[in-house]
């Protein structure tokens, strides 16, 4: 065993010569003197070094195999291998003591994030509180809402002008000066931790901004940095790649490449033209980004949101999305992180086909993942008043491997795309193509009778494809109801909002609120006045937080106050109900297409959830619940009514029930 090898200076090679394990051991054996030399110069307690060496021994074979698979063909593979090992060691060395302590606690309690007490929120620092300093003053607000997970949208230094909401990063080691400094971030992380809140930040690793140091060096003609990106002198290669590529931002620019005047090169730019895709076939890029990853983790970030994971590896003749190497790369980042900063989790942002989404989820890759299919199908069911596609998807796709979890959300800073599986749709009698057309028309308010006020995003006139922007409240009907000043419509909109929240808070996984939604914020069309935002309709659902809404008096009377009070209550109920922990969920047949029913159970606690996705009163047979929930009488945690399974159970328009046996 390598762990025996490490501490005694004498090294035994226990694996069979010629086997991959043997190669891994031998490589480590050869690197060890160099590593030990470095470690002995570091001012670290011996237990810390022992822990590090143990983790290295555990994760090295896997890391070695991954890197060898990705880069083993290169003449300078072992040079890069050594550099990567030293980058890990450096990241570990720079990890503050407090974070090493939390690493230790999390290693002993690896399922900490599966607790029902986990509830997330996401926000833009500038729109919420101007800067990081002022954000600290709102920790009380997060606590009063019940949050234990806070995702700050990208806050690093960005290029001037349009920066794609922070996703065009010019320096991963400095905070945008308008928001504060790295030290402000460290202080905030510490304060959040003291309040029991984990900090989540993006790891925007598919691309840098065009004014990142590496990009500037590339522009200046430095070959080493030109290799950091995909640059082409003419259209020959881009045209060949283009044959099989999708367009992600077709209204920004056709195709995936941008001509750069001064450099006289085509640059691969999957997203905006100023976001240059990094070339991970170059191990120096992996090494450089690993160093940025560990730097960010060491500021006190608990969860890294891996942005745009699908796009990080390219191969001619493929769609250059979700390639096997993309997974190997993330797994390699994971193995490095397990060694240097083992308490840190990864969350994947793969907004792709559901079969591909799950491939990023595993304890060795991303422990957490957005659940875009659930998100899309919650909205789909709300439009159709029919939960059959949602049920089919939950039945087949909710289950995840042990040690991982969904992050369930309804809205985020991005658009809504209809990422359900076409065959799932066909199996329940739905034609996927025309259904997506219908949903787009419904959510842009063009379908007769629609309650929604969404805005098209990235409409592609060639393919007819489109995604939807809009806040939760505007998509659920509140904007229309307010415009018509219609009490009934308002009531229905509020019920829809709460219904959807009741699902993401109970279905299994970490619920994630996009802050502002807890106040029923409606679309803000003013973004068009800002030239840096005007062409990107996602800004319609990224409004400024209105602190005056918190003022007393306003809260109780307004729709906003009602929504806020109800969401807070739902969060509180979720957190106090052990049955909501973990991911185990079984559907309950309800005999009614508009009613979704499921059983949640954990450690002997059970909760039955019923949700009526229509504006009509509906009944569910009591019998169904008696069998599933094992009881005759239930308490509806939300309405506090007692429900008997001897008769039919009535659900009012858009009513949900969280039922616990009494
Ligand atoms: C992710 C982000 C999105 C951004 C894109 C490019 O999808 O969520 O906002 O535009 O990556 O970084
Ligand atoms: C990218 C975009 C995001 C979009 C997704 C699916 O991740 O950033 O806005 O939803 O692709 O097309």
Q: Take residue 268 and report the two structure tokens written for it.
A: 């691969």
Does residue 9 have a pLDDT over 60?
Answer: no
Query: Which residues are known catalytic residues?
Result: 307, 349
Name the residue at shortest CA distance from atom 6 of ligand 2.
351
Q: Please give the structure tokens belonging to residue 541.
A: 């659902």
Given a cut of 70, whether residue 5 has pLDDT beyond it is no
Instruction: Give nearest CA residue, ligand 1 atom 3.
Output: 414
Contact 486, 530 (CB under 8 A): no
pLDDT score for 460 = 87
Pocket test for ligand 2, best of 168, 247, 351, 542 (most atoms within 8 A of CB): 351
Q: How much is the average pLDDT of 458-486?
A: 94
Cβ(21)–Cβ(297) under 8 Å?
Answer: no
User: Ligand 2 atom 3: the closest Cα is on which residue?
Assistant: 414
Nearest alpha-carbon partner for 598 in 540, 659, 554, 510: 659
Q: How many other C-beta atoms lie within 10 A of the C-beta of residue 440?
A: 21
The answer to whether the CB of 190 falls within 8 A of the CB of 98 is yes
Atom of ligand 2 nearest to the CA of 419: 6
Which residues have CB under 8 Å from 540's CB, separation 6+? 455, 469, 470, 471, 523, 524, 525, 527
pLDDT value, residue 461: 85
Averaged pLDDT, 185-198: 98
- Mean pLDDT is lowest, of 1-15, 368-382, 384-398, 458-472, for 1-15
Residue nearest to atom 10 of ligand 2 (CA): 415
Report the share of the chain in percent with pLDDT over 90: 86
Atom 12 (ligand 2): residue with closest C-alpha?
248
Q: Is there a contact between 124 and 153 (Cβ–Cβ < 8 Å)?
A: yes
Which ranges constitute the DSSP H helices of 349-409? 354-357, 372-384, 388-397
Per the structure block, which two tokens stand in for 145? 């809402």
pLDDT exceeds 70 at position 10: no
Q: Of 484, 228, 504, 230, nearest to 382 (Cα)?
A: 504
- Is the separation of the CB atoms in 164 and 208 below 8 Å? no
**Sign of the CA dihedral running 76, 79, 83, 85:** positive
Instruction: Give the pairing of strands 257-260 and 265-268.
Output: antiparallel
- The alpha-carbon radius of gyration of the chain (Å, integer) is 26
Candidate from 222-231, 372-381, 538-547 with smallest mean pLDDT:
538-547
Tokens of 255: 């195709």
Instruction: Tell me the ligand closest to 247's alpha carbon.
Output: 2
Strands 207-209 and 275-277: antiparallel
**Given this model, what pLDDT does residue 3 score?**
44
CB neighbour class for 569 (10 Å; exposed up to 12, middle 13-18, buried from 19): middle
CB 381 within 8 A of CB 388: no
pLDDT band at 552 (very low <50, low <70, confident <90, very high): low
Residues near 134 by beta carbon (within 8 Å), at least 6 away in sequence: none
Least confident of 5-14, 542-551, 580-589, 615-624: 5-14
pLDDT-derived band of residue 483, with 50, 70 and 90 as boundaries? very high
Q: Using one digit for the tens of pLDDT, what is the confidence trace for 584-597?
A: 999 999 989 999 99
Q: For 152-170, what is the mean pLDDT?
A: 96
Per-residue pLDDT at 631: 81
Q: Are 430 and 391 in contact (CB under 8 A)?
A: no
Give 435-441 contacts, CB < 8 A, sequence gap 24+. 435/380, 437/464, 438/383, 439/379, 439/380, 439/383, 439/468, 440/466, 440/468
Which residues lie with the beta carbon below 6 Å from any ligand 2 atom?
A: 248, 308, 351, 414-415, 417, 467
Question: Order of strands across the sheet with 265-268?
Answer: 231-232, 265-268, 257-260
- Determine the distance separating the centroid of ligand 2 and the alpha carbon of 352, expressed in angstroms: 8
Residue 581, exposed/middle/buried by CB under 10 A (0-12, 13-18, 19+)? buried
How remote is the CA of residue 415 from the centroid of ligand 2, in Å? 7
* Number of the ligand 1 atom closest to the C-alpha atom of 168: 12
Provide the pLDDT confidence category of residue 27 given band limits of 50, 70 and 90.
Answer: very high
Given a contact cutoff of 8 angstroms between Cβ atoms, the answer to whether 512 and 305 are in contact is no
The predicted structure's pLDDT at residue 627: 78
Q: Whole-model pTM?
A: 0.95
Nearest atom (ligand 2) to Cα of 308:
7
pLDDT of the residue at 15? 81
The region of weakest confidence among 16-25, 139-148, 191-200 is 16-25
Q: Note the ligand closest to the C-alpha atom of 248.
A: 2
The rounded mean pLDDT for the chain is: 94
Tell me how far the alpha carbon of residue 351 lies from the centroid of ligand 2, in angstroms: 6
Minimal CA–CA distance to 564: which of 615, 508, 505, 494? Answer: 494
376 Cα to the center of ligand 2, angstroms: 13
Atom of ligand 1 nearest to the CA of 351: 7
Q: Closest ligand 2 atom to the C-alpha of 349? A: 7
Q: How many Å from the N-terminal Cα to the C-terminal Cα in the chain?
A: 54
> Is 68 a residue whose pLDDT tops 70?
yes
Mutating to test ligand 2, I would choose from 269, 373, 415 the residue with most ligand atoms within 8 A of its C-beta, which is 415
């Amino acid at each position: 065993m390598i762990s025996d090898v490490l501490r005694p200076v004498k090294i035994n090679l226990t694996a069979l010569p010629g086997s991959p394990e043997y190669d891994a051991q031998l490589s480590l054996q050869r690197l060890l003197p160099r590593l030990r030399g470095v470690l002995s110069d570091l001012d670290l307690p011996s237990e810390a070094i022992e822990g590090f060496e143990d983790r290295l021994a555990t994760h090295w074979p896997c890391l070695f195999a991954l890197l060898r698979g990705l880069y083993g063909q290169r003449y300078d593979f072992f040079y890069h291998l050594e550099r990567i090992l030293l980058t890990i060691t450096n990241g570990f060395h720079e990890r503050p003591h407090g974070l090493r302590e939390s690493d230790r606690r999390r290693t002993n309690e690896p399922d900490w994030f599966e607790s029902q007490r986990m509830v997330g929120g996401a926000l833009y620092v500038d729109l919420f509180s101007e800067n990081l300093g002022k954000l600290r003053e709102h920790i009380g607000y997060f606590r009063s809402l019940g949050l234990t997970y806070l995702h700050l949208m990208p806050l690093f230094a960005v290029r001037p002008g349009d920066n794609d909401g922070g996703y065009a990063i010019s320096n991963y080691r400095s905070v945008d000066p308008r928001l504060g400094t790295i030290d402000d971030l460290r202080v905030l992380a510490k304060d959040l931790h003291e309040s029991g809140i984990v900090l989540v930040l993006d790891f925007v690793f598919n691309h840098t901004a065009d004014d990142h140091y590496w990009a500037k060096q590339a522009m200046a003609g430095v070959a080493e940095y030109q290799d950091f990106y995909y640059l082409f002198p003419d259209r020959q290669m881009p045209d060949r790649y283009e044959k099989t590529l999708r367009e992600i931002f077709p209204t920004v620019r056709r195709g995936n490449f941008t001509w750069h005047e001064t450099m006289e090169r085509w640059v691969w730019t999957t997203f905006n033209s100023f976001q240059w895709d990094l070339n991970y076939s170059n191990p120096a890029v992996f090494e450089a980004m690993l160093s940025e990853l560990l730097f960010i983790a060491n500021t006190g970030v608990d969860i890294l949101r891996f942005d745009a994971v699908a796009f990080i590896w390219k191969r001619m003749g493929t769609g250059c999305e979700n390639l096997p190497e993309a997974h190997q790369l993330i797994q390699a980042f994971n193995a490095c992180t397990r060694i240097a900063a083992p308490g840190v989790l990864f969350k994947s942002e793969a907004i792709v086909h559901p079969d591909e989404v799950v491939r990023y989820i595993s304890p060795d890759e991303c422990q957490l993942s957005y659940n875009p299919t659930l998100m899309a199908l919650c909205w789909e069911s709300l439009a159709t008043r029919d939960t059959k596609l949602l049920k089919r998807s939950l039945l087949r796709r909710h289950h995840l491997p042990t040690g991982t979890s969904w992050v369930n959300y309804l809205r985020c800073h991005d658009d809504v795309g209809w990422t359900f599986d076409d065959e799932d749709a066909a199996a329940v009698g739905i034609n996927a193509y025309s259904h997506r057309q219908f949903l787009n028309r419904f959510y842009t308010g063009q379908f007769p009778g629609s309650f929604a006020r969404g805005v098209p995003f990235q409409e592609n006139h060639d393919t007819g494809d489109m995604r939807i922007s809009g806040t939760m409240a505007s998509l659920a009907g509140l904007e229309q109801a307010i415009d018509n000043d219609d009490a009934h419509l308002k009531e229905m909109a509020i019920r829809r909002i709460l219904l959807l929240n009741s699902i993401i808070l109970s279905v299994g996984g970490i619920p994630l609120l996009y802050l502002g939604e807890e106040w029923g914020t409606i679309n803000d069309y003013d973004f068009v006045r800002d030239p840096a935002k005007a062409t990107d309709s996602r800004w319609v659902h990224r409004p400024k937080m209105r602190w005056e809404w918190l003022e007393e008096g306003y809260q109780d009377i307004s729709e906003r106050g009602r929504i806020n009070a109800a969401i807070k209550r739902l969060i509180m109920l979720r957190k106090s109900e052990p049955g909501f922990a973990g991911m185990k969920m079984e559907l309950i047949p309800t005999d009614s297409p508009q009613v979704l029913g499921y059983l949640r159970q954990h450690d002997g606690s059970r909760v039955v959830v019923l949700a009526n996705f229509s504006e009509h009163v509906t009944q569910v047979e009591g019998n169904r619940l008696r069998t599933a929930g094992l009881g005759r009488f239930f308490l509806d945690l939300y309405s506090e009514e007692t429900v008997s399974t001897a008769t039919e159970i009535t659900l009012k328009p858009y009513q949900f029930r969280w039922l616990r046996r009494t």
